[in-house]
Amino acid sequence: MENNIQKVLISQEQIRAKVQEMAAQISAEYADKDPVFVGVLKGVVIFFADMVREISIPCEIDFMCLSSYGGTNSSGNVVVKKDLSVDIKGRHVVILEDIYDTGRSLDFTRKYLLSKEPASLKICTLLDKPERRVDGITLVPDYVGFTIPNEFVVGYGLDFNEHYRNLPYVGVLKPEAYEK
Ligand code: IMP
Ligand code: MG
């Protein structure tokens, strides 16, 4: 195991089983709908790649990139750094997300995509940290992989200072790793 990891919260095997289960459910629900899967970079890339390879129906994929600005603490202001390339008007869209934390980025993404008038919009998140939600965000994801406690996690796409995204599991960092 990587040296700076205190514990594995969700193993590679657990993730694989959950991805297969969610992808099978989505494939059944979206058969004949030719959905567009939208990923918000970069944290979602690993989950996204694993999910779409388990999707057994025709579909398209696309990506967006957001960035936060304004102020020292995360003020919740979000801008679109890279927009979609697919026109989603009238399409069935499923947002794939790595983690639903405070909910600011998902809330923004959802409203932004709704403004493009898709036929439908659902949200699939690998991880959900319900204790972290900020006021006013009431969005309920349609598909949730794992509900996790209020701990900062890395791996399987999730980073700390852009590191650890390549770990094949979701883990918790040792406290010393934050000081490096
Ligand atoms: P939000 O707070 O729900 O808007 O989440 C914004 C982004 O913060 C997520 O897409 C992740 O990239 C990142 N994030 C939130 N919680 C964690 C965590 O525990 N580990 C790593 N990244 C996180
Ligand atoms: Mg991140």
pLDDT (0 to 100) of residue 80: 94
Our CA dihedral for 160, 161, 162, 165, rounded to 10 degrees, sits at -10
**In the chain, which residues have pLDDT < 70?**
70-76, 180
DSSP 134: P
Provide the strand spans (E) within the chain: 5-10, 36-41, 60-69, 77-82, 92-100, 120-128, 143-147, 153-154, 170-173
Burial class of residue 154 (count of CB atoms within 10 Å of its CB; 0-12, 13-18, 19+): buried
Class of domain 2-178: alpha beta
Measured in degrees and rounded to the nearest 5, phi and psi for residue 95 equal: -80, 130
Instruction: Report the chain's terminal Cα–Cα distance, integer Å.
Output: 18
- Find the 21 Cα to ligand 1 centroid distance in Å: 23
pLDDT of residue 70: 56
Q: Which of 34, 99, 82 is nearest to 61 (CA)?
A: 34
Domain ranges of the chain: 2-178
Cα 154 to Cα 33, 129, 147, 178: the distances in Å are 34, 13, 15, 12
Atom of ligand 1 minimally distant from the CA of 108: 4
Residues with a catalytic annotation lie at 101
CA gap 71, 4 in Å, rounded:
30
**pLDDT (tens digit, 9 = 90+) per residue, 147-173?**
999 999 999 999 999 999 999 999 999
What is the predicted pLDDT for the residue at 77?
Answer: 81
pLDDT for position 143: 98
Task: Give me ligand 1 centre to Cα 13, in Å.
Answer: 23
Tell me the CA–centroid distance for residue 101 and ligand 1, in Å: 5
pLDDT at site 76: 64
Ligand 1 atom nearest to 97, measured from its CA: 10
pLDDT at residue 72, rounded to an integer: 43
Angle between helices 45-54 and 12-29 (to 10 degrees): 50
